[in-house]
């Protein structure tokens, strides 16, 4: 398991430099626009994508064929991707949160409770995104997985705009649910755990 995570970290470390520049650019953008939530969202999105990049490298190199000749269980191979994703997400949040707080300190654009609400929602969304994407990438591979990712990004917005007259006012609904927002990351973690069970079942049926 440690070897698998180490392999992925070494493989994707080449991306880190490029992404450090992107984060720097986003930081400047966030300061200029005084929108700290954007920084948080994009940093989370970037780190989430690293697991998908690792899966793409694996697919291109036929790594699974090699990995399955090693003394590793299929469950370990799948779980390593979940642990990697979760670790990267935590690192992303830990890096982004102080920056967001700094921007907030200087701009005081939104009240601090809203900031933590945003933080919880974004973390929960990222965990759910991983929970959906990882089994899809493991089952379909990276090319089809990308299409599903695009659909996943655009479909909710499209559906809401299509059926908005039938939906209750989202702002009011969210305001009513405010007290539950802090537990959403835990719900996200639970969904991620369920997803790992599904992905393991998918992987165990695969042939190499």
Partner 1 sequence: MNVIEIHDLHKSLGNFSLKDVSFAVPQGTVMGFVGENGAGKSTTIKCMLNLLKKQYGEILLFGKDIVEHELSIKNDIGVVFDDLYVPETLNATQLDKIMKKFFKTWDSSYYFERLVQFNVPKRKKVKELSRGMRMKLSIALALSHHPKLLILDEPTSGLDPIIRDEILDLFLEFMQDETHSILFSSHITSDLEKIADYITLIHNGEILLSESKDVLLYEYGIFKGSNEEVNDLPEHAIIRTRNGTFGMEALVLKNEVNQAFKLEKPSIEDILLFYVKGRVERW
Site residues, partner 1 (CB under 8 A): 2-3, 6-7, 10-11, 14, 57-58, 60-63, 65-66, 68-73, 207-208
For the CB of residue 198, give the shortest distance to partner 1 in the complex, in Å: 19
Taking the least distance from each CB to partner 1, the nearer of 11 and 142 is 11
For the CB of residue 32, give the shortest distance to partner 1 in the complex, in Å: 35
For the CB of residue 75, give the shortest distance to partner 1 in the complex, in Å: 11
Residues 6+ apart with CB under 8 A from 110: 36, 37, 104
Taking the least distance from each CB to partner 1, the nearer of 9 and 191 is 9
Taking the least distance from each CB to partner 1, the nearer of 4 and 47 is 4
Taking the least distance from each CB to partner 1, the nearer of 11 and 19 is 11
For the CB of residue 176, give the shortest distance to partner 1 in the complex, in Å: 48
For the CB of residue 141, give the shortest distance to partner 1 in the complex, in Å: 15
Written as one string, the DSSP assignment of the chain is -HHHHHHHHHHHHHHHHHHHHHHHHHHHHHHHHT-HHHHHHHHHHHHHHHHHHHHHHHHHHTHHHHHTTSS--HHHHHHHHHHHHHHHHHHHHHHHHHHHHHHHHHH--S-HHHHHHHHHHHHHHHHHHHHHHHHHHHHH-HHHHHHHHHHHHHHHHHHHHHSGGGS--HHHHHHHTGGGGGGHHHHHHHHHHHHHHHHHHHHHH---
Taking the least distance from each CB to partner 1, the nearer of 8 and 188 is 8
For the CB of residue 200, give the shortest distance to partner 1 in the complex, in Å: 15
Taking the least distance from each CB to partner 1, the nearer of 34 and 68 is 68
Q: How far apart are CA 152 and CA 6, in angstroms?
A: 29
């Amino acid at each position: 398991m440690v070897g698998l995570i180490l392999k992925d970290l070494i493989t994707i470390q080449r991306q880190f430099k490029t992404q450090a520049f992107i984060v720097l650019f986003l930081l400047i953008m966030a300061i200029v626009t005084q929108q700290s939530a954007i920084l948080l969202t994009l940093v989370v999105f970037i780190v989430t994508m690293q697991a998908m990049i690792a899966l793409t490298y694996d697919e291109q190199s036929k790594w699974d064929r090699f990995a399955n000749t090693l003394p590793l269980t299929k469950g370990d191979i799948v779980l390593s991707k979940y642990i990697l994703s979760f670790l990267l997400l935590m690192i992303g949040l830990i890096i982004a949160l102080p920056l967001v707080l700094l921007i907030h300190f200087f701009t005081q654009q939104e009240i601090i409770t809203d900031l933590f609400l945003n933080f919880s929602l974004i973390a929960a969304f990222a965990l759910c995104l991983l929970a959906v994407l990882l089994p899809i990438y493991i089952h379909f591979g990276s090319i089809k997985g990308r299409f599903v990712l695009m659909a996943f990004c655009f479909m909710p917005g499209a559906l809401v705009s299509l059926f908005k007259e039938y939906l209750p006012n989202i702002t009011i609904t969210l305001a009513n649910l405010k007290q539950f927002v802090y537990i959403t990351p835990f719900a996200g973690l639970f969904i991620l755990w369920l997803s790992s069970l599904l992905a393991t079942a998918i992987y165990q049926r695969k042939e190499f």
